[in-house]
């Protein structure tokens, strides 16, 4: 995953409070829409960000509401058009190798967040931050005929026809 050489287009800092999730979702969805993502994709990207923030609130900060979460967003309009989102926190560090989605055959409440993030986003990388906390970098490419996304319903809505399940 290549590093960005320029500063983010948007930086947002919020506290680890569930009531703030709606605002973060709306921001991401609007930026994604301006890049050209379809409504369904905008919804899915904001869902992935919501899930990442929920995981930080629930697991990183153990539901504490005074933790800081930093979002950096790059709206990349060419080479190729994409949305890059970096979410950083100052919460408990975990080994990135242990962050795995669960088996969907095991139908039970909870544990879907990592799976949804991995399914929706094209690139996902977890890292420990120097000095504490975690960094999650996610990239979503604007679907083209060459790089069709992973979710068939969204691809259909994007006007690309059926791709793969």
Partner 1 sequence: MNDTDQIEVTTEVLEGTTIIKPIGEIDLSRAPSLRHHLNEAQAAKPGTLVIDLAEVPYMDSSGVATLVEAMQIARRNKSRIILCSMQERVKSIFEIARLDAVFTIVENREIALET
Binding site for partner 1 (CB under 8 A): 18-19, 21-22, 25, 39-40, 43-44, 47, 50-51, 54, 57-58, 104, 107-110, 112-113, 115-116, 119-120, 151, 153-154, 157
- Kind and range of the H or E element at 22? helix 21-35
Question: Closest separation between CB of residue 78 and partner 1, Å?
Answer: 27
Q: Output the CA–CA distances (angstroms, integers) from residue 109 to 14, 38, 102, 106, 112, in the order listed.
A: 27, 29, 11, 9, 8
**For partner 1, which is the closer residue by CB, 9 or 39?**
39
**For partner 1, which is the closer residue by CB, 76 or 114?**
114
- Kind and range of the H or E element at 18? none
Structure tokens at 128: 């420990």
**For partner 1, which is the closer residue by CB, 86 or 151?**
151
**For partner 1, which is the closer residue by CB, 93 or 150?**
150
Alpha helices (H) along 65-144: 113-120
Instruction: Provide CB contacts within 8 A for 131, sequence distance 6+.
Output: none
Q: How far apart are CA 126 and CA 124, in angstroms?
A: 7
Question: Closest separation between CB of residue 104 and partner 1, Å?
Answer: 5
Question: Closest separation between CB of residue 142 and partner 1, Å?
Answer: 18
Question: Closest separation between CB of residue 24 and partner 1, Å?
Answer: 10
């Amino acid at each position: 995953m290549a590093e960005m050489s320029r500063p983010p287009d948007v930086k947002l800092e919020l506290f680890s409070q569930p009531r703030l999730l709606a605002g973060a979702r709306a921001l991401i969805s609007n930026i994604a829409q301006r890049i050209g993502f379809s409504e369904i994709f905008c919804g899915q990207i904001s869902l992935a960000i919501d899930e990442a923030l929920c995981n930080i609130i629930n697991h990183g900060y153990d539901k504490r509401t005074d933790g800081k979460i930093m979002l950096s967003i790059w709206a990349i309009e060419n080479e190729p058009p994409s949305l890059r989102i970096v979410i950083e926190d100052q919460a408990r560090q975990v080994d990135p190798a242990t962050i795995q989605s669960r088996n969907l055959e095991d139908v039970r409440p909870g544990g879907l967040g990592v799976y949804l993030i991995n399914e929706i986003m094209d690139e996902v990388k977890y890292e420990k931050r120097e000095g504490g906390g975690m960094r999650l970098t996610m990239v979503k490419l604007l679907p083209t005929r060459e790089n069709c996304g992973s979710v068939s319903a969204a691809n259909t809505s994007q006007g690309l026809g059926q791709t793969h399940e």
